[in-house]
Amino acid sequence: MKITKLTTYIVPPRWLFVKVETDEGISGWGEPIVEGRALTVEAAVHELSDYLIGKDPFLIEDHWNVMYRGGFYRGGAVHMSAIAGIDQALWDIKGKALNVPVHQLLGGQCRDRIKVYSWIGGDRPSDVARNAKEMVERGFTALKLNGAEELQIIDSYAKIDAIVETIGTVRDAVGPHVGIGADFHGRVHRPMAKVLAKALDPFRLMFIEEPVLSENYEALKEIANHTSTPIALGERLYSRWDFKNILSGGYVDIIQPDLSHAGGITECRKIASMAEAYDIALAPHCPLGPIALAACLQIDAVSYNAFIQEQSLNIHYNQDNDILDYITNREVFDYKDGFVAIPQGPGLGVDVDEAYVIERAKTGHRWRNPVWRHEDGSFAEW
């Protein structure tokens, strides 16, 4: 079998798909994307395709090494996301060719299902609480919300009080045992992060996410000493080498590699195993499409330390299309009692609706991060 063609599709709401074809008629799908940089990653995918055309798709480890190490400059969001989507597609091909799910090729599943959490939105505490209660009524047992608005490096305690009010209202609405993740989104700098983390302790959160930007990981030691809440981080880390200092530092409790950003299935399998050696939990980041989610579930299936999976159904970003729109076997993501079953179909286990992908690619997207500013006019982290 030889790789014959790579085709990319930029599709709403903010995704990029890649189809890898072979001369035996077996194709695989991947999701290489950096949100807001779809055209850039698309170009990187096509640059990598120059090497892949004519190669045996089964040699995934070797292809990964060449795609990563074959360039003098390596790593980072764009490069690793391009590799990630191609890697997913190669695993999809191999699973389909052998008629087994990818997790069977990785040693076999160690769980039948995994808990999922749902994003909740809203502008006021009452709105957020109402949305949270609705998600619990739909069967979710874990939720995540943006836990902080933009904060300057030193900011007002009025903002801290407002955040505490929102989280407290959500906790009151859903009761004491629903998991709540509060995403600081890298919006909070070190001085205010330790204040906020301590203030949120009484709400017994499932985790606080990105209390500071990953590049400021040295601040985690002090933040960890101000809270008993588990700390999660990792959606903006792209390789095992990026995670190395985070893991060895010992101040993160949950890592969140993104299967479409951090080198795909091949790399995230290694990152998950590294984390297990440090007794750190795995919760893959995935506010993306169905191919990315299916790839995450393959890693969840074989990773002892995986405990929950992010997913984007009905997320606020998905305004034009949602994850079920692009697949024909929608039952694969049939959530029950707050869990989703591990896919059992060959490859990634999702059947991509290629005709619909092609149709929506005619519309495409140019999604961009919003630009926020503080009251004094300076740039604010989104």
Catalytic residues: 185, 285
Rg (CA), the chain: 20
Pairing of strands 3-11, 15-22: antiparallel
In a 10 Å sphere around its CB, with 0-12 CB exposed, 13-18 middle and 19+ buried, how is residue 67 labelled?
buried
CB contact at 8 A, 344 and 338: no
Tell me phi and psi for residue 173, to 5 degrees.
-70, -35
Pairing of strands 113-119, 308-310: parallel
Using alpha carbons, list the distances in angstroms from residue 75 to 72, 255, 272, 287, 371: 10, 19, 18, 22, 26
Kindly report the number of other CB atoms within 10 A of residue 337's CB atom. 9
- Residues with Cβ within 8 Å of residue 57, at least 6 apart in sequence: 1, 2, 3, 20, 22, 28, 63, 90, 93, 94
CB contact at 8 A, 10 and 38: yes
Side-chain half-sphere exposure of 104, counting CA atoms within 13 A: 16
The structure tokens 């992908």 sit at: 357
- Residues with Cβ within 8 Å of residue 249, at least 6 apart in sequence: 217, 220, 221
The structure tokens 């205010």 sit at: 192
Residue type (1 letter), 208: I
- Residues with Cβ within 8 Å of residue 362, at least 6 apart in sequence: none
